[in-house]
Each structure stands twice: as C-alpha cells, then as structure tokens.
C-alpha cells in the first residue's frame, strides 16, 4: 500500500478525532481497515487492493459523517426545545413569525395592486388576437411612453407574488399557524398561491412568441392526458383543437378578469385574516400577562397582612 493511502487514512483519523464521542465509537473500525492492507495485497492485485482500500475509507467517511450530522442535529433541536419552552422566548418567537406573515401579506397585496394597475395600462394597447398580440406588445415597448417600465413592473409583480406566496406558506407553517383558528388565513393563502400560479400560466401564450406558443402547446397536451376530463379541459382552454385567436381570447379573459380579480380578493382576505389573528393573539397574551401578575401579587399581599 502506498504512502499516499496511509497519509489519507491518517488525515481521516485526525478529522474524526475532532468529534470525541464518534471517534471513541468508530476508531476500531478505522484500525480494522488499516489492518486489512496485508490481506488485500495477498488476495488481490495491486490496483484492486488500492481500489478496495480507498472504497472502505470512503464508506467510513460517509458513514461517520452521517452519524456526526445526525448527532449535531439532535443536539441542536434538543437545545431549541429547551429554549422554546421558556414562555418569554416562545412568545417572542411566535410574535416575530406572525409579524413576518403579516408583512408578507401586505407585500402580496401591494404586488397585486401593482400588477392590476400595470395590467390596466397594458390593456389599453394590447390586442388579444393572433395577428395583433405580438405587434401590440412591440408597440408598447417601443412607442408607448414608459411602456418598457410598465411591462417589466407587470412581469416582476406577477413573479414576485408567486415567490412571496410560497414563502408565506412556509412562514405560517413554521410559526405553528396551522391550527383551526388560522383556517381562513391558510385557505386564503393557498388560494392566493394557486391563483398567482394560474396568472403566470395563462400569460404564457399572451406574448405570442415561439417559446410561449410551443410551451403552451406542450402543456395543453399534458392537460389533455388527464383522465375523463382532459380533452374537455383542453378544448375549453384552447377554444378548439389548435391554438388560435380564440385561445388568446380565452387566456386573456381568464388572466385579466377572473384570476386577477380573484387574486386581489384573496390577498385582501388573507391580510385581513392575519391582522385579525394577530390582534386576537395580542389580546390573549395581555390577559395572560395580567392574570400572571395578579397571581404573583396575591402572595405578597398575604405576607404583608401577616
């Protein structure tokens, strides 16, 4: 066995020794791997022995690293569990996440307003036809004053709404806001996320470019593969067997009227539900603090009277 392999084994040993508990448990395994060098050289060719030896070292590193990672995670979550059992830290933790969820809801409503306002401006010039869609967008970009900014804001607001809606769901789950009292916030948040994705999906073909055209055609074929109702949904969305001006009009109607209005309504309901729950939680916390203060002051009054 070459000195390079021995040096590699010694480096692995020095690395594992930085974790005393795991090293005490698995150091014999590494010694057995080193002791198997002579047996490998006798049974196999030189290159095969080197390959098997290095494979055993690699397996040792991966296995021990996994054990170390699991132990570190266990220790982290055990410390976190001890921390959150303290009432003050727990209340602060919940308050931060609830306030974050409320701020995200405000940002979502703002993005909905920006997308709606810029969408109305674009609707003045956009033509949902096969011959006029691309030309109208080109005219908006090159001829309409600030048309590029309006179109960019519309796209950024739509994509940002999807990102914030997904982050909002994660924040609400981490903040343990998945209880029954948060049903309205959860339902409106999920509906808002689906609506934002639907807005992005219906806008694929509205630019009437090659990329959007073929992507939408591919996704229509995926919709058509749905059992029982796939063909019917494809015909409703496309307005027939192929993509034409009728398809553009259908997508434009869904995008500009149904989904846009639904997104605004869901964002308002979502923000209202979160504000209501935050105020309700604050009032409950105030009553709890008052009751705790009264219970602490009662023994002191009894001792003073004695």
Contact status, residue 137 vs residue 123, Cβ threshold 8 Å: no
Q: Is residue 299 part of a domain?
A: no
Q: What value does the mean pLDDT of the chain take?
A: 80
69 in the same domain as 100:
no
Poorest-pLDDT segment among 105-114, 201-210, 270-279, 288-297: 288-297
Convert the pLDDT of each residue in 60-87 to its tens digit: 888 888 888 777 766 655 544 444 444 4
Same domain, 238 and 121: yes
- Predicted pLDDT of residue 261: 93
70 shares a domain with 100: no
* Same domain membership, residue 143 and residue 235: yes
197 and 115 assigned to the same domain: yes
Could you tell me what percent of the chain has a pLDDT over 70? Answer: 81
Shared domain for 144 and 280, answered yes or no, is yes
The predicted structure's pLDDT at residue 282: 60
Same domain, 65 and 135: no
Q: Per the structure, how many domains does the chain have?
A: 2
Residues 85 and 172: their CA atoms lie apart, in Å, by: 20
Q: Token match 């209501």: residue?
A: 276
- pLDDT by residue (tens digit) across 170-227? 888 776 655 555 778 888 989 999 999 999 998 988 888 888 888 888 888 888 888 8
Do residues 55 and 133 share a domain? no
- Highest mean pLDDT: which of 88-102, 150-164, 282-296? 150-164
With CA atoms as reference, report the closest residue to 21 among 57, 74, 81: 74
Quote the domain boundaries for residue 20.
3-83
Angle between helices 87-123 and 183-202 (to 10 degrees): 30
- Residue 191, φ and ψ in degrees, nearest 5: -65, -35
Among 60, 83, 106, the domain-final residue is: 83
For residue 273, is it within any domain?
yes
Do 123 and 240 lie in one domain? The reply is: yes
In a domain, 121, yes or no: yes
DSSP 128: -
* pTM, 2 dp: 0.62
| Residue 253 maps to a domain | yes
Q: Residue for token digits 């991966």?
A: 62
The distance in angstroms from the start CA to the end CA of the chain is 86
Residues 163, 15 share a domain:
no
Same structural domain for residues 171 and 115? yes
pLDDT band at residue 241 under the 50/70/90 scheme: low
Q: Which residues contact 1 (CB under 8 A, 6 or more apart)?
A: 37, 40, 41, 49, 50, 53
Residue 217 belongs to domain with CATH number:
1.20.810.10
- Domain assignment present for residue 275? The answer is yes
**Of 35, 56, 83, which one is at a domain's C-terminal end?**
83
User: Does any domain span residue 20?
Assistant: yes
Cα gap 134→147, rounded to integer Å: 14
Q: Is the Cβ–Cβ distance between 137 and 145 less than 8 Å?
A: no
306 assigned to some structural domain: no
Half-sphere exposure of 233 (CA within 13 A, CB side): 12
Q: Which of 30, 53, 83 is the last residue of a domain?
A: 83
Which tokens go with 229? 């109702």
Nearest to 60, CA basis, from 33, 38, 35: 33
Same domain, 79 and 98: no
Tell whether 88 is covered by a domain: no
pLDDT of residue 85: 45
More confident residue, 176 or 145: 145
The two three-digit tokens of residue 248, written as one number: 């553009």
**pLDDT at residue 80, as a whole number:** 46
């Amino acid at each position: 066995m070459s000195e390079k392999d021995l040096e590699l084994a010694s480096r692995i040993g020095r690395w594992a020794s930085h974790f005393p508990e795991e090293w005490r448990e698995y150091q014999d395994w590494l010694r057995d791997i080193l002791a198997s060098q002579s047996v490998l050289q006798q049974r196999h060719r030189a290159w095969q022995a080197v390959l098997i030896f290095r494979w055993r070292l690699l397996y040792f590193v991966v296995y021990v690293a996994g054990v170390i990672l699991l132990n570190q995670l266990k220790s982290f979550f055990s410390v976190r569990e001890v921390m959150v059992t303290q009432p003050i830290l727990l209340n602060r933790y919940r308050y931060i996440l609830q306030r974050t969820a409320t701020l995200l809801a405000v940002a979502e409503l703002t993005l909905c307003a920006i997308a709606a306002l810029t969408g109305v401006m674009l609707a003045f010039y956009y033509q949902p036809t096969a011959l006029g869609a691309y030309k109208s967008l080109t005219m908006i970009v090159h001829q309409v004053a600030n048309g590029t900014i309006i179109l960019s804001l519309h796209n950024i607001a739509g994509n940002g709404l999807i990102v914030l809606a997904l982050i909002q769901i994660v924040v609400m789950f981490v903040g343990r806001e998945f209880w029954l009292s948060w049903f309205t916030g959860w339902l409106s948040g999920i509906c808002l996320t689906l609506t934002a994705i639907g807005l992005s999906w219906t806008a694929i073909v509205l630019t009437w470019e090659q990329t959007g055209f073929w992507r939408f055609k591919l996704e229509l074929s995926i919709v058509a593969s749905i059992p029982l109702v796939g063909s019917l949904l494809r015909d409703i969305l496309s307005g027939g067997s192929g993509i034409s001006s009728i398809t553009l009009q259908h997508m434009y109607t869904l995008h500009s009227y149904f989904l846009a209005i639904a997104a605004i309504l869901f964002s308002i309901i979502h923000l209202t539900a979160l504000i209501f729950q935050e105020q309700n939680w604050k009032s409950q916390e105030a009553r709890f603090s008052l009751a705790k203060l009264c219970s602490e002051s009662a023994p002191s009054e009894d001792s003073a009277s004695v």
